[in-house]
Structure 1
Amino acid sequence: KKEFILKSNSLQVVELSNIVDEAEPGNYKFKVIVNKNNQKTNNEITKDIIINNKLKSNNAENLNNNEDNNAKNLITANNVLMNRGIIYESSTEKAKALIPLFLIIISIIINIVLIWRR
């Protein structure tokens, strides 16, 4: 569990470490739950991850290759789990995004009324 304070209009990258040593190869789901200000409803981020077959190594060369594969898998997992989307957007920011759409709709309605009255 990680807790941090995020100011409005700011970005913070949080690294989560989740190491599972005895997992069987296959498809799994990785879930992150975000709770803002102790709200009842949590925001959930769920990603599909794939765990490949483990390589059993008996000598140092295989061990080094395995470590390289683990590093590559870690980088791949980080790329998959890095969600650059919006987790939470305040109602003020949503309203700011809707203002241009609202103005366009009003303009179209006024133009239709003016053309119809001619």
Structure 2
Amino acid sequence: MMFELRVLDGLHQGAALPLFGQQWSIGAHAEADLVLSDPGIAERHAHLRLIDSNWSVQSEAGLLRDAMGQLSAQIASLAPNVTFSVGTVRLCVSLAQESWPQAPVHSAVTVLQA
């Protein structure tokens, strides 16, 4: 099975990193496996790991947000297709052949003038 790390929004929306190996760096540094140049991304923001079929994300120089929006230094067990955020950028690990998740729908606010 081939997995990929998908960028769901931000400046690099639509990018996907094929996941070969067991560890990948995420950050603004030019040598990161997944380079994100969005505001708020540290040079060495986090690491994604695969150990014994378990995905995890560990922060280095920046915090993470889990799918519920809670700040965290680590997401110890990350299920495929569950989003997490690095800075303001949402990411997820998915099987390469699966469809991409739809972007969240933000409700429009209508302003009425008297």
Same fold (TM over 0.5): no
- Asked which structure has the greater CA Rg, the reply is 1
TM-score of the aligned structures, taking structure 1 as reference length: 0.26
TM-score of the aligned structures, taking structure 2 as reference length: 0.27
More strand by share: 2
More helix by share: 1
Structure number with higher relative contact order (C-alpha < 8 Å, ≥ 6 residues apart):
2
